[in-house]
Structure 1
Amino acid sequence: MNQDHIEPLPQIDELDEKILKLITKNARIPFLEVARECGVSGAAIHQRVQRLLNLGVVSGSEFIVNPAKLGYNTCAYMGVYLEKAKYHSQVAKALREIPEVVECHYTTGQYAIFVKIQTKTNKHLKKLIDEAFQEIEGIARTETFISLEMDFKRQVAIK
């Protein structure tokens, strides 16, 4: 998002908030159940959700894969130091080519880029660091943190 031009926030009313709370808790909830909970028609819910999609308040729905169930037992975060700031785009493009990199953020502070990595083992992570990350032109050095356990993850609060 370009900080120079901040778009006005869409108008969200109490019904929109209630719908958002229900559908973010369970993306597979039938619209008729949402309608019953909200005391309005199924058509009204369909229109409201479509409006929220069009406004960009929500986007699609997805199934969340549990990495551990597929053998990805190591979650790590890596701070990336760049040789020069101008390398940001090319480094991000190279990181996108590494399937184990599941998130990439351009940041302020100590690191220029901060990534989340899912690997099968610590040895898999070490191999990635040695063979993939260290080969990316523009990376000066990296600092890696292994997550021992995720205590919680949530979406932004709906009022």
Structure 2
Amino acid sequence: MQNFQIDNLDKMILNALLDDARIPYAELGKRFKVSPATIHVRIEKMRSAGIIVGTRLAIEPKRLGYDVSCYVGITLNNAGDYPEVVKRLEAFDEVVEAYYTTGKFSIFIKVICHSIDELQWVLIGKIQSIEKIRDTETFMSLQNPIQRTIKI
């Protein structure tokens, strides 16, 4: 994979889109003193280069009653079990992030549930029932004071 070189205008566009992905090209053009067509070309160039990937909607889970957020460190029986375990974890709606890691755990996942009772069911009835998982350790999240992507 090749790194793509961006200039100051690209950086300004990316940072503006990170703040508000729905901002019109015309508004960006006025802000940065270029035409909306230039903004369009720059954004499409960054999409083609894989810098801009998709468009996502952000949801506040607590507003929908998801009051429990935790991280689960997973130790596998064998390193070769990774692909199958990830495939199984991906099927659980409560698992919202997964990372292949070094150190104590093979996989580190983020789980969001409505309640502690639901979390217990997810841990015992779903995650720990995967036979290729040797051990788990759960870390409860009390707050998420920093939540952002990188700024360019």
TM-score range, shorter chain: over 0.9
Q: Residue 26 in 1 paired to residue 58 in 2?
A: no
Q: Distance in 2 between matches of 1:129 and 1:21?
A: 38
Q: Distance in 1 between matches of 2:11 and 2:122?
A: 43
Q: Residue 86 in 1 paired to residue 80 in 2?
A: yes
2:45 to 51, 59, 63: 51
| Structure 2: runs of 5+ lacking an equivalent | none
Q: Residue 68 in 1 paired to residue 68 in 2?
A: no
The residue aligned with 1:103 is 97
Cα displacement (A) at 1:74: 0.4
| Structure 1: runs of 5+ lacking an equivalent | 1-6
Read off the aligned partner of 1:14 and give its amino acid letter.
N
Q: State the identity %.
A: 36
Cα displacement (A) at 1:8: 2.7
Cα displacement (A) at 1:157: 2.2
Q: Residue 115 in 1 paired to residue 109 in 2?
A: yes
- Number of aligned residue pairs: 152
- TM-score normalised to the size of structure 1? 0.93
Read off the aligned partner of 2:151 and give its amino acid letter.
A
The residue aligned with 1:12 is 6
Runs of 4+ that moved beyond 3 A: none
